[in-house]
């Protein structure tokens, strides 16, 4: 679960900068799925980067998986980060590592045994339909394939919180349907999931509770 109370955020922490997020309060229980909606510039990516511990709120209270983020020490934050999966809009794959090694990375950071890593990577890559591309380098893949690798890397260690920024924008309808089925399954297994999108048709097709932002303000919150 995560909880935000009166959270504001401005890029560069500047007080004169226009706030990317203003006075956001949210409470999402464990194992729930939320769409994160709003037009471009509404603050969706900013909110996801706070949840992924990539950015620090300028003001307010952030609690993720029971950890009060603003007061947490570096070690606690590092442990918390390993329980959060993130799918970025630009994928952020390591271009010099092949698909296998990109997806294996989170498990290697957990010092899992190589045999177990290999088993997990093959299973997840089969699921995303890329089991034949394990040796490819990310720049050799299409946008949709890179997006599926990024998704596999984010979910391989079954994070307790998963945040995804426009994770279907490079996928075709069939792949998007598969991905949303996987997200719903992960939520059933206990992962809290927030998916940002400005694609209204996909939201209509897969109805779920939504959080909506406009100009950095919360304009809708399902409870």
Does 34 participate in binding ligand ADP (rule CB under 6 A)? Answer: no
Return the number of other C-beta atoms located less than 10 Å from residue 169's C-beta: 15
Does 37 participate in binding ligand ADP (rule CB under 6 A)? Answer: no
Positive or negative, the CA dihedral 21, 1, 81, 141 is negative
Helices (H), 85-214: 99-109, 114-127, 143-155, 173-188, 200-205
CA atoms of 61 and 191, how far apart (whole Å): 22
Does 11 participate in binding ligand ADP (rule CB under 6 A)? Answer: yes
Does 210 participate in binding ligand ADP (rule CB under 6 A)? Answer: no
Does 52 participate in binding ligand ADP (rule CB under 6 A)? Answer: no
Does 38 participate in binding ligand ADP (rule CB under 6 A)? Answer: yes
Of residues 46, 191, 192, 197, which one binds ligand ADP by CB under 6 A?
Answer: 46
Tell me which stretch binds ligand ADP (CB under 6 A): 40-48, 74-82, 96-104, 132-140.
40-48
Tell me which stretch binds ligand ADP (CB under 6 A): 78-86, 124-132, 134-142, 204-212.
124-132
192 three-state secondary structure: strand
Nearer to ligand ADP, 42 or 117 (CB): 42
Of residues 22, 45, 146, 191, which one binds ligand ADP by CB under 6 A?
Answer: 45
Q: Which residues of 66-90 are buried (b: 16+ CB within 10 A; e: fewer)?
A: ebebeebeeeeeeebeeebbbbbbe
Distances (CA, A) of 75 to 62, 82, 97, 111, 157: 17, 11, 27, 17, 19
Does 60 participate in binding ligand ADP (rule CB under 6 A)? Answer: no
Contacts to ligand ADP from residues 158-187, by CB under 6 A: 171, 174-175, 178-179, 182
- Least CB distance to ligand ADP at residue 19 (A): 8
Are 132 and 158 contacting, i.e. CB atoms less than 8 angstroms apart?
no
Which residues form the interface with ligand ADP (CB under 6 A)? 11, 20, 38, 40-46, 127-129, 148, 171, 174-175, 178-179, 182
């Amino acid at each position: 679960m995560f909880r935000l109370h009166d959270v504001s955020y401005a890029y560069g922490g500047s007080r004169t900068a226009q706030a990317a997020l203003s006075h956001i309060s949210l409470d999402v229980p464990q194992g729930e799925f939320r769409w994160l909606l709003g037009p471009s510039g509404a603050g969706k990516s900013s909110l996801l980067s706070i949840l992924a511990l990539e950015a620090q709120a300028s003001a307010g209270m952030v609690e993720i998986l029971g950890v009060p983020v603003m007061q947490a020490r570096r070690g606690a934050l590092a442990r918390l980060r390993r329980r959060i999966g993130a799918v970025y809009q630009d994928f952020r794959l390591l271009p010099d590592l092949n698909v296998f090694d990109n997806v294996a990375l989170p498990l290697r950071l957990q010092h899992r045994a190589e045999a177990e890593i290999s088993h997990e990577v093959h299973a997840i890559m089969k699921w995303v339909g890329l089991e034949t591309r394990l040796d490819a380098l990310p720049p050799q893949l299409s946008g949709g394939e890179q997006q599926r690798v990024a998704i596999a890397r984010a979910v391989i260690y079954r994070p307790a919180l998963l945040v995804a920024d426009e994770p279907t924008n490079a996928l075709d309808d069939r792949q998007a349907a598969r991905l949303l089925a996987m997200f719903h399954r992960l939520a059933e297994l206990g992962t809290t999931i927030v998916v940002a999108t400005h694609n209204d048709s996909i939201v209509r097709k897969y109805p779920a509770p939504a959080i909506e932002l406009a100009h950095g303000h919360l304009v809708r919150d399902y409870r």
